[in-house]
Structure formats: structure tokens, C-alpha cells
Amino acid sequence: MAESELSPLTRRESENRALGSDGKPLLVIVEGQDIDTMLEAGLEAIGGLGRIIGNNRQVVLKPNTNQSDPFPSITAPETLRAVASQCRKAGAEHIVVHEDHKFGPDLYYTPDELPGMDIQLSFSSDASHYVLVEYEKWHGDLDPGVAFKDIELTVPASNIQNGFQKTEGPCLRVAHQLQEAPVIISMPVLKRHFGGQMSSALKNHFGSVYGAHRWLAHGTLQTDRDYYDRKLAEFASAVRPELTITDVRSIQAVSGPFIQPDTKIVEGVNRLIISGDMIAADVVAMDLVKKYDDTFTPTNEAIVRRQHEHAEELGLGTSDLSKCEIIELKV
């Protein structure tokens, strides 16, 4: 889809519809082993998926898909099938699965794995797969010629050396499937990440924007850590999904986002986090990382908390769980 450089779009409308009777954001934590049972119980606790979808007939599912390693490195197909089934029960007729691709156009999920779903991809290096969106609270892209003048960049930041389409002003290029979606359900996993420290609800939206935005952010990890953390929050604020469902039945510990020789897969965590508040969901996720991954240090935690501060400034939710209505279930 071609974009118009002359008139950036306004950021998509979104609101947290998963609120308790007192107006607090609902934060549901389900413990169990069967994903269908866990999901059904969790969605019932927020008042049903119908209150999220409303009268809309299309829903976009945003899984974590940055490579082909299996769950918990990417979103599990059975979890996508379970959510899609609940969407259909709530009245959705067209279910789009948005895949983010860094290395090529081959799909991560096969149509046989996701029956009845429309798998669509964005190729991160192709600006035409994204639309230009403007929001006054975003910062513009840095100038790589200045910021990286005396730095030897490594992958993925070095991708900018292959050329990219520069973005001017407080704008981001957002995957058109997400910008145009009437309803988005984000479906992150929980894993460690070399840059973000952990990848879950907020970090899932690195895969929602044009590759150059991400490459620039990765490059600053060597010189300006705060640029990366602020951009992580901005990318999430470009999407603002109506609901986030985090599958933490297992955790990818120690290293990530790819599975590496030192990666540890922690099974038996058996949690599902459901909320319209990405920050609150990530606070719970971080507590699980701290419990199950002893390589996650106070320094890692401090970085994640700074990301939460940036996200709070952009109105993405709260890191103070006392401001949420927490529902814990065991099924």
C-alpha cells in the first residue's frame, strides 16, 4: 500500500474497554494448563470479548512473529486458534493475523495451522507496507549520519546502511493493517531480549512499525539508551491495541529474542495475562521473569521501569497495580 507523504494520518482511535465497575483497568491473571479453558475463563472475567469487539466484524490479531523459533519465542498457533474462536463467537467474521517479517516473505504460520484466518504480512525493510502517522507527542527519528558517525553498527542496526526512507517530524510508519484495524488484539509472549531486557506487551509493537525506526533505535543502545526506551513506548502508542493477551505458559529465559545456545525455556509457568492496559500487563510479566529467570538483574528491571515511565507519559496505562482491578483465577 502506497502512502502519502503530503498528509500524514492521525493516530488510530483506541480506548481501554476492559474496565471494572469502578472504572479501573481490569487485569486478569489466569493459572492453568489448557489454553482454551484459560482463555475462556479470562475473557469471561473481563465481561466477554463482545464488549471489546462491539459491532465490528473485523479483528486483527498481532502475534509476536520475528523469526521461526517455536513458542515461547513466538506466539503459539494454538493460542491464535483459541483467540480466533472466541472472536467468532463474539461476532467477528474476518480475522486477520498480522505477521512482521525481517528476513523474507515466507510466512511463519501456515494456513493449515490457522484455518479461517487471513494471514497478512509486513516486510520491515519495505516502506510501502506502512503508512505515515503523526502524533504530536512522538519524537522524530534521529539523524544516523550524526548519531552513528564514529560507531561500527552491528545487526540489526547495520541494516540502515542498506538505505531506508527517512521519516520527518513527529511521525512513525505503521503497518497499514494495524492503522486501519477497527479492533486489535495483541498477543505477545514473554521472553528475554538483548535490547529491551524483556519482550512482552509493549515490546511486541516493535513489529508494528517500519524497520528503519527499529534499526535506528537498536543503534542507539551503544550511545543513548533512553532513545531506545522512549521509542519502544512510542511504537506501542502507535497501535494501542484494544486488548492484550499474553501467553506465559512458558518463558524464554536468559537470552533472546532468538533461541541461542544459552537460552533456557522455562515450562510450567502456566499463566495467561489479559488486560487492556499494556503497562500493567508488563508489570505482571516482569514479576514472572524475576521469579523464573535468575539472570534478570536489578539493572535489567530498572531499564524496563524506565520504559514504563515513557509509556505512562504517552497514556498507555499504569505501572501502579493498585490502580487496577486484579482478578486471579485458577482453572
Average pLDDT, the chain: 94
**pLDDT (tens digit per residue) in 237-258:** 999 999 999 999 999 999 999 9
Q: What are 248's three cell numbers?
A: 506465559
Q: At a CB cut-off of 8 Å and minimum separation 6, what does 134 contact? A: 8, 9, 10, 11, 169, 170, 171
Asked whether the predicted pLDDT for residue 101 surpasses 90, the reply is: no
Q: What are 320's three cell numbers?
A: 501502579
- pLDDT value of position 5: 54
Domains of the chain by residue range: 9-24+50-330
- Local confidence band at 6 (pLDDT 50, 70, 90 cut-offs): low
Q: Which of 16-25, 105-114, 258-267, 279-288 has the lowest mean pLDDT?
A: 105-114
Asked whether the predicted pLDDT for residue 43 surpasses 70, the reply is: yes
- pLDDT value of position 102: 76
State the DSSP H helix or E strand holding residue 48, giving kind and residue range, or none if neither: none
Distances, alpha carbon 125 to alpha carbons 18, 77, 175, 309, 319, in Å? 35, 25, 12, 29, 33
Task: Give the ranges where the chain is alpha helix by DSSP (H).
Answer: 35-45, 50-53, 77-89, 144-147, 176-179, 211-219, 225-239, 278-292, 298-313
Q: What are 10's three cell numbers?
A: 492521525
pTM for the predicted model, two decimal places: 0.96
- pLDDT value of position 105: 73
Q: How far apart are alpha carbons 129 and 113 in whole angstroms?
A: 24
- pLDDT value of position 292: 98
**pLDDT (tens digit per residue) in 148-175:** 888 888 777 777 877 788 888 999 999 9
Asked whether the predicted pLDDT for residue 138 surpasses 90, the reply is: yes
Q: How far apart are alpha carbons 291 and 134 in whole angstroms?
A: 39
- Local confidence band at 98 (pLDDT 50, 70, 90 cut-offs): very high
Asked whether the predicted pLDDT for residue 3 surpasses 50, the reply is: no
- pLDDT value of position 272: 98
Instruction: Quickly name the fold that domain 9-24+50-330 has.
Output: Rossmann fold (3.40.50)
Query: Is 111 within 8 Å of 119 (Cβ atoms)?
Result: yes
